[in-house]
Amino acid sequence: MKKRLSFSSLKAFSDCEAEAVAVMAEEWDRQSTFSPSTIEAMNAGSYVHKYFESNKALEEFKLEHESDMFTKKGSLKSQFQIAEKMVQTLDKDPLFKTIYQGVKELEIFGKIQGIEFHGFLDCLNLERNIFIDIKTIRGSIRDKEWSETEYRRVSWIESRKYLWQMAIYQELLRQSDDEKIGKNIQPVIYAITKETFPDSSGITIPQEWLDDSLLEVQEASEKYIEVLNGREPKRCERCNYCKATKLNTHTISITELI
């Protein structure tokens, strides 16, 4: 198991401990379970990020992903046509253009509950005391999704645990010994949608929500430490890994399905 965590590895661990441990042990290739359209959508999301990182990053991305981006006839694949529209929308969004300034793709480090964490900031704007994270999303910015843990519909930002990500990054920045970096830098999630007419908004988060999220991150990290120290990882019995490795030994009651 990894000694150093990122937001995505902690999220994967909290979604299914057994799958995350198998991925870290290289016994399970999660990427290979993704459908071609999911991979195309992920690449298109990277394209949007690279476009606003630097010309160099964009050119490198295009070279590396030429076969992913274009059909055999040479036209842009559908997800990249959408990505191009998203880029154009952000490029004429006055708020985005004003605040998405500063250091791009900055790697940050620190410790939470004694475990090393690292992360990448899309953009750190020290003049405004904010960091910005671009999120490309399929639905509408106001979409809600069902949360299995909260038993209610919550915003996509909560259901995908992006509050954890923002709380982790804020904490890692707080731990930085760079004097230029303040102690209470605020996150801005810059959402851009894949709708026919892409929508964009910069979204701030109340500090109490970030504080609560950091507590949840600390609890999840404690669980990770338990498994590092030898506790058997829990199976979610819902993910592809659990389905692929399931060995039924008893029946379940219909009441468990409600």
- CB closer to Zn ion out of 19 and 122: 19
Nearer to Zn ion, 13 or 51 (CB): 13
**Distance in Å, CB of 256 to Zn ion, minimum:** 16
How many C-beta atoms lie closer than 10 Å to residue 222's C-beta?
Answer: 13
CB of 9 to Zn ion, least distance (A): 15
Give me the least distance between CB of 5 and Zn ion, in Å please: 18
Q: Are 218 and 113 in contact (CB under 8 A)?
A: yes
Cβ proximity to Zn ion: between 76 and 242 the closer is 242
| Residue 242 interacts with Zn ion (CB under 5 A): yes or no | yes
In terms of CB distance, is 42 or 236 closer to Zn ion? 236
Output the 3-class SS for the chain.
Answer: CCCEECHHHHHHHHHCHHHHHHHHCCCCCCHHHCCHHHHHHHHHHHHHHHHHHCHHHHHHHHHHCHHHHECCCCCECHHHHHHHHHHHHHHCCHHHHHHCCCEEEEEEEEEECCEEEEEEEEEEECCCCEEEEEEEECCCCCCEEEECCCCEEEEHHHHCCHHHHHHHHHHHHHCCCCCCCCCCCEEEEEEEECCCCCCEEEECCCHHHHHHHHHHHHHHHHHHHHHHCCCCCCCCCCCHHHHHCCCCCCCCCHHHHC
Closest distance to Zn ion from the beta carbon of 30 (Å): 11
C-beta of 249: minimal distance to Zn ion in Å?
A: 17
Say whether residue 53 binds Zn ion (CB under 5 A).
Answer: no
CB of 36 to Zn ion, least distance (A): 23
According to CB under 5 A, which residues from 1 to 30 bind Zn ion? 16, 19
Q: Whose Cβ is closer to Zn ion: residue 58's or residue 242's? A: 242
**How many residues sit in the footprint of Zn ion (CB under 5 A)?**
5
Q: Report the site for Zn ion in 178-237 (rule: CB under 5 A).
A: 236
Q: Near Zn ion by CB under 5 A, which window of 4-12, 80-88, 209-217, 239-247?
A: 239-247
Q: By C-beta, is 129 or 149 nearer to Zn ion? A: 149
Provide the binding-site residues for Zn ion, judged by CB under 5 A.
16, 19, 236, 239, 242
